[in-house]
Amino acid sequence: MVQVIEGLPSLEKIIAEAGDKLIVIDFFATWCGPCKMIAPKYEELSKENTNVVFLKVDVDDNEEIAIKYEISSMPTFVFIKNNQVVHQFAGASLDKLKDSIQKYQ
C-alpha cells in the first residue's frame, strides 16, 4: 500500500517509526505526465514488497518536504534506511526503481 504524505511532521513520524525498513518516497506532481505513467507500477511494487514502506509526496502541496530533499524534477524517488537517505534518482524508470528496492532493502 502506498501512503500519501501530508506535511513534514507526518513524514518525520513515519521515518522514525520505520526502524531499519527501507522507505521509498515518490515525489510527484499531478500535472506530471511521467508521474502518472509510473504511479500504477509504483502501487504494484508496494503490494509485491510488503516489507518496504512506500510513500508519495505531492510537491505542490508539500513544498517544505520538497525543499528539504532538494527535489528539482518529478518524479524523483528517494530511498531512506535507518533515518538516512541512501539513494535518490529522478525519472520514471521502473527498472531503476526495482533494482534500487532490491539493492537497499
Catalytic residue, candidates 23, 24, 29, 32: 32
CB-based contact 75:27 (threshold 8 Å): yes
Domains of the chain by start residue, with CATH: 2-104 (3.40.30.10)
Query: What pLDDT, in 10s, does the model give residues 25-39?
Result: 999 999 999 999 999
Q: Is 35 a catalytic residue?
A: yes
Q: Is 32 a catalytic residue?
A: yes
Mean local confidence (pLDDT), 62-71: 96
DSSP 19: T
Mean local confidence (pLDDT), 51-66: 97
Grid coordinates belonging to 82: 535507518
DSSP 70-101: T--SSSEEEEEETTEEEEEEES--HHHHHHHH
pTM for this structure? Answer: 0.96
